[in-house]
Amino acid sequence: MSNWCILRTAPSRTVPLATALVEAGYRAWTPQETRVVRVGRSRDRKEVAAPMTPTIVFAEYDRVPEFVALSRSPLCRLPPFHVFRYMDVYSRVADRALDALRLAEQRGRPRAFARTFAVNDPVKFADAGFEGLIGSVSGTQGRYTLVMFPGFRVPIKIPAHSLMSAAHAA
C-alpha cells in the first residue's frame, strides 16, 4: 500500500500541477469534476475540469525530498507549489484514506464514464458498512453490482458507483 504527501498550490493551478507532475513521470493525483461554465459575451457553455479539493495535489510520499527540491528550485518548470507539513513533519496520507475522494470523483462523472466490472473482477467497497473489504463480482442487476465477499454465503447487491477496482488497494 502506498502513502501520499500533500502538495499545496494556488486554486487555479491545482489541475495544471497534477497534470504536469504526471507528465514528468511522477505519481500524482487530485480529484476532479467536470463543471459547465459560461464564457465570453455570448455566454456560451463550456465544460472545464475543476479540482474537487482546490490547492491540494496528492503525490507519492517516497519522493518527498525530490518534491521539496523542486518546490525550492528557481529553474523548476512546474506550477509553483510547496510540500505541506505539520509541526515540522511532512504529512503522510494512507492510500486507503483517499478512497472517499475517489468515490466522490467517480460519482461526479457522467454515466458513460462510470466504471463497469466484469464477472470475477476484484472490487473494493469504500462506503460505510463494508469499508475496505475486497470481493469479486458475481453479476450485475441494472445499476447494481452483485459482489461476493469472503465469508458471505450470498452476493451483496451494491450500487456500482460505490465500488472501485481493487487495483487501487495495492
Model-level pTM greater than 0.85? no
151 and 78 in one domain?
no
Q: What is the pLDDT of residues 65-83, one digit of tens each?
A: 999 999 998 888 888 999 9
Tell the residue number behind the cell numbers 467497497, with chain if given: 125
Lowest mean pLDDT among 19-28, 110-119, 160-169: 110-119
Q: Is residue 105 part of a domain?
A: no
59 and 88 in one domain?
yes
- The reported pLDDT for the residue numbered 22 is 92
DSSP letters, the chain, are: --EEEEEE--GGGHHHHHHHHHHTT--EE--EEEEEEEETTTTEEEEEEEESSTTEEEEEGGGHHHHHHHHH-TT--SPP-EE-EETTEE--EEGGGGHHHHHHHHHTS-GGGS----TT-EEEE-SSSSTT-EEEEEEEETTEEEEEPTT-SS-EEEEGGGEEEGGGG-
- The reported pLDDT for the residue numbered 18 is 92
59 and 17 in one domain?
yes
- The reported pLDDT for the residue numbered 114 is 52
Residue 10: band (very low, low, confident or very high) from pLDDT cuts 50, 70, 90: very high
Residue 131 zone, left/alpha/beta (φ > 0; ψ -120 to 50; rest): beta
124 and 79 in one domain?
no
Q: Is residue 104 part of a domain?
A: no
- The reported pLDDT for the residue numbered 167 is 60
80 and 11 in one domain?
yes
Q: How many residues does the chain have?
A: 170
Domain that holds residue 10: 3-97
Residue 1: band (very low, low, confident or very high) from pLDDT cuts 50, 70, 90: low
Assigned C-alpha cell, 116: 463497469
The whole-angstrom distance between residue 98's C-alpha and the CA centroid of its chain comes to 7
Q: What is the pLDDT of residues 103-125, one digit of tens each?
A: 778 776 655 445 677 788 888 87
More confident residue, 131 or 102: 102
More confident residue, 130 or 19: 19
Q: Is residue 153 part of a domain?
A: yes
127 and 88 in one domain?
no
* CATH code for position 165: 2.30.30.30
Q: Count up the domains in the chain and report the number.
A: 2
